[in-house]
Structure 1
Amino acid sequence: MKNILFVLTIAVLFVFFSSVSGCTDTPAENLTASELGSRFLEKADNIRDYTSEYYSDSDGQVIFDWKYPAEYRLEYVNKTNVAPGSLLCMNLTTAVSYDAGENVYIVQPEISDLPQNDYQAMVREIVRDCDFSVTGTMKEDGRMLYGIEVITEPWSDKYTTYKSSKIQAWIDPKSGLAWNITTFSQLDTVIHTIRYERIETNTGIPESRFSFDPPPGSNPHCGCAGWNALPEGIDPETIDPALMPGCRNCTEALMNSPVGGFNGRRFLVSTYSYEGADYKFVPDPAPSASVNYTFYSRNMSPGNVSYNIYHVAALYDTKPLPMPENLSVTIEPNEFKAEPGEEYTSVVTARLLPESRIPDNLWLYIHADVEGAPDAITDDWVRVAVDDGTPLSGAALYRFYRSTGGYCERLLVVPRGGSGHAQFYIGTGELETGIVTMNLTRMPCEMDHMPRGDDEWPSLPEGIHISVNPDRFLARSFANYYLDMSFSVDPSVEPGDYCFSAQFRTPTSEIGLAPFTLRVTE
């Protein structure tokens, strides 16, 4: 009887301790790398989509979605210096990056580094190559994970877009998913760590998830320059609405209203000259310099025009400051009667007392009162500087406040037999009142060498018709212009990418931008 009780006691204790310690769970199998890889890939290859959330030491908290064959969506949740809600998405025809902080987006042919955030694909490639070792097992959230490690010393970019020497991951062969991933440089220095918090597979993610629907109030990013913004402290109410930095609907007014603006060479007062065969340095007894201000009356009724010019603190400022005592500024003529359809040029002259200086880049502001034309756009700003012969004196006049431009969409998708439009932005800078031209020329979508001979540039295929409106127009300084690029595609055109370069010329600059992609689909 005692023996029976002893046996029963041992049995009860065995069951008890087995339950407490978890020994009833399926233990980890001692799998070889080949066996582990086969089981993992059998599941992984059946994943057609997944939605996930992971933490990366480089990107912070991220929501990442993928759909077969190559659709991606990445949303930043709390990355440093990136506004929450900023995202990148790419489907089979279009890629978009969206900055939630600025509420602007960029439409482009692709985002080449977006797929690198598909760490599941990276691990699948490692497992498929079967060049890894199994480092151990661990239980996490009910999953039995197997540690794998691949060595790529001394370094390699086979699995990463950067140079790495080792990659470690914990994988689940029952689901075909990787959960924790670490990449290393030489000497076992950690480069990146990725820890998944959630992964859901084969949920039938809709195509709309990988398409971008612009949020209310958002705008395409058109390559605006950093200076083209209202400086801090400037009251927007003092700026002509048509000249407001970043204005996206001012082109029509700028094209049709009476306008005026500065033009000519840089407003640089030289206090010296060179004389004789030995170029002797001689002080100028009456240093001065001039620029032009031109008024275009367009369709205004006959009326008087009068000018006032002031010293101000900065671009877009309209609050007068005292003019330096050693500087005088005049404009001739400063008053005249304007007739419709004419242009009138006055000369603005700055005179400096000999052997004196003024603050670098002193700003001048001009305002015109135009009788009977309340819509006239005449305010303008220009810098005046002194060249006294010292190194780089006055050089800043040639470096800042230049024209800028860019595609508002870098990609346009048009089906065969269809048509479409995209915008191009031109922002004029200082002294840029005058004629602006813009045109598109065909270029290779991939530039593998430069310079290229004339016979190396592709011609425009028959069946693709392009136009720019307007392609030539009168512009004024410090203004924003949005041009329409129109494309139509005949049914005979082969599907594929056709790339173009934009060239535009302003009174002071000539700029080429590339590429713009026309993507023709079936």
Structure 2
Amino acid sequence: MRIVGIVILCASTIFVLNYLSEDTLQPKEFKPTPENTSDQTQNNTSYMEFQNELASTTELITVPIGGFHTNFIRLKPGELDVTNYTLYSRNSGPGEVSYNIYRVKKVYETEDIGMADGLSVSIEPSGYIAQPHDNYTSKLIINTTPELAFHGAGTEYTLYIQANFEGESRSRSNDWVRVLVEGEETVPGASGFYQPYLTLQNESITLEAGQNGETYCTYHTGGMGIRDISYDVHRTTDKSDALPIPAGLTVNIEPSNFIAKNFENYTSHITVKTSPDLPSGEYILNIEILSNGRTTEDVSFTVNVSENVM
């Protein structure tokens, strides 16, 4: 009897683990109930994580931010190059702004490891009084001597900047620039790191006609330079042909327009609304990211609509 009990217990445990792994741990589609669509979202295990990301995004589009226009530079020993850095004061100021610039081990790290012999940096202007609702651009000048060492095909040096904004503790004004010092041969693929990309919480959503639903998308900026970002949504077919979004189907993304800094994540809330008379079927949408007015990233999002049974 004890052996039988153990077998039953093990079988039950396997069933529970299979059930969790299939239905709970890997949710693929959001299916709201007619009674309360928001309750279904809150049952998603990632709900609080996305709420935190939304809060971070709200801060990023509200507080002062700063970033480089170009985050990757190639140099040979003895050469000089320049990249611009812009600070957006938002609602803060007036206040004095100054900069700290030093070398770090790699992107996302902030510990000063000392400037390499033969590598020097300066920024102009290096200080000013920032007023509210304005932006200020400085030039970061990167200078090298012929004695600057590199190994193999090339050596990458990472520089870190932090803007100190008087009276503002929430500023998100830090950034990194990668400086590749190489010889006569160009290092292939070096500029391709830290590319931007767009992800969806759910690749599809299922609704009855007349229901509303929600999900989230996140734009991972990478190191392509600080820039204006906007979203565009249009309907496509499985052959990628553009179609108008039908009357009775509304897709709203918020925030949908913002200035994005480098090496950050911006999460937006997607709301899908359907009218009771929307024909049932599969609606394939294309969500595009426009960077400085040009489409750079896109993802496919499917809205499955069934007939209202009420």
TM-score (normalised: structure 2): 0.81
1:422 matched to 2:212: no
Structure 1 309/357 Cα, relative in aligned 2: closer, same or farther at 3 Å?
same
1:371 matched to 2:166: yes
Q: Which of 102, 111, 117 is equivalent to 1:310?
A: 102
2: distance between equivalents of 1:430 and 1:499?
A: 30
Aligned to 2:266: 481
CA drift at 1:307:
0.3
Tell me whether 290-299 or 258-267 shows the greater mean CA deviation. Answer: 258-267
Return the letter of the residue paired with 2:297.
Answer: I
Q: Which of 287, 303, 317 is equivalent to 2:79?
A: 287
RMSD between aligned residues: 3.0
Q: Is the 8 A contact 1:432 1:506 kept in 2?
A: no
2: distance between equivalents of 1:384 and 1:86?
A: 47
1:263 matched to 2:69: yes
Aligned to 2:116: 324
1: distance between equivalents of 2:250 and 2:46?
A: 33
Aligned to 1:385: 180
Q: Is the 8 A contact 2:157 2:181 kept in 1?
A: no
Structure 1 321/334 Cα, relative in aligned 2: closer, same or farther at 3 Å?
same
Return the letter of the residue paired with 2:85.
Answer: Y
Return the letter of the residue paired with 1:494.
Answer: P
User: Secondary structure of the equivalent of 1:420?
Assistant: strand
Aligned to 2:296: 510
Q: Structure with the greater relative contact order (CA < 8 A, sep ≥ 6): 1 or 2?
A: 2
Alignment of 1:163-242 (within 5 A): 213-215=43-45, 219=49
TM-score (normalised: structure 1): 0.50
CA drift at 1:358:
4.0
2: distance between equivalents of 1:298 and 1:325?
A: 38
> Which 5+ residue runs of structure 2 have no aligned equivalent?
1-9, 32-40
1: distance between equivalents of 2:88 and 2:295?
A: 22
Q: Is the 8 A contact 1:403 1:509 kept in 2?
A: no
Aligned to 1:107: 28
2: distance between equivalents of 1:351 and 1:385?
A: 12
Larger Rg: 1
2: distance between equivalents of 1:308 and 1:358?
A: 25
1:87 matched to 2:21: yes
Return the letter of the residue paired with 1:108.
Answer: E
Aligned to 1:491: 276
1: distance between equivalents of 2:200 and 2:121?
A: 39
Structure 1 327/425 Cα, relative in aligned 2: closer, same or farther at 3 Å?
same
Q: Which of 121, 128, 144 is equivalent to 1:336?
A: 128
CA drift at 1:109:
7.7
Aligned to 1:352: 144
2: distance between equivalents of 1:109 and 1:470?
A: 21
Deviations 1:86-140 (A, max 9, x none): 5113xxxxxxx62xxxxxx443389xxxxxxxxxxxxxxxxxxxxxxxxxxxxxx
Q: Is the 8 A contact 2:253 2:268 kept in 1?
A: yes
Deviations 1:11-52 (A, max 9, x none): xxxxxxxxxxxxxxxxxxxxxxxxxxxxxxxxxxxxxxxxxx
Return the letter of the residue paired with 2:22.
Answer: L
Aligned to 1:501: 286
2: distance between equivalents of 1:463 and 1:424?
A: 22
User: Secondary structure of the equivalent of 1:63?
Assistant: helix
Aligned to 1:63: 15
Deviations 1:367-426 (A, max 9, x none): 111011112111112211124221426x41x21111122111222233322322221111
CA drift at 1:250:
0.2
CA drift at 1:315:
2.1
2: distance between equivalents of 1:217 and 1:513?
A: 21
CA drift at 1:435:
0.6
Q: Is the 8 A contact 2:283 2:302 kept in 1?
A: yes
Aligned to 2:204: 411
User: Secondary structure of the equivalent of 1:88?
Assistant: helix
2: distance between equivalents of 1:460 and 1:501?
A: 11
Aligned to 2:55: 249
CA drift at 1:465:
1.6
Structure 1 326/338 Cα, relative in aligned 2: closer, same or farther at 3 Å?
same
Structure 1 328/363 Cα, relative in aligned 2: closer, same or farther at 3 Å?
same
> Which 5+ residue runs of structure 1 have no aligned equivalent?
1-52, 55-60, 65-74, 77-84, 90-96, 99-104, 111-210, 221-245, 272-285
Return the letter of the residue paired with 1:457.
Answer: A
Tell me whether 405-414 or 297-306 shows the greater mean CA deviation. Answer: 405-414
Q: Is the 8 A contact 1:304 1:370 kept in 2?
A: yes
CA drift at 1:356:
3.6
CA drift at 1:248:
5.1
2: distance between equivalents of 1:441 and 1:289?
A: 41
Aligned to 1:434: 227
Structure 1 383/86 Cα, relative in aligned 2: closer, same or farther at 3 Å?
farther
1:467 matched to 2:252: yes
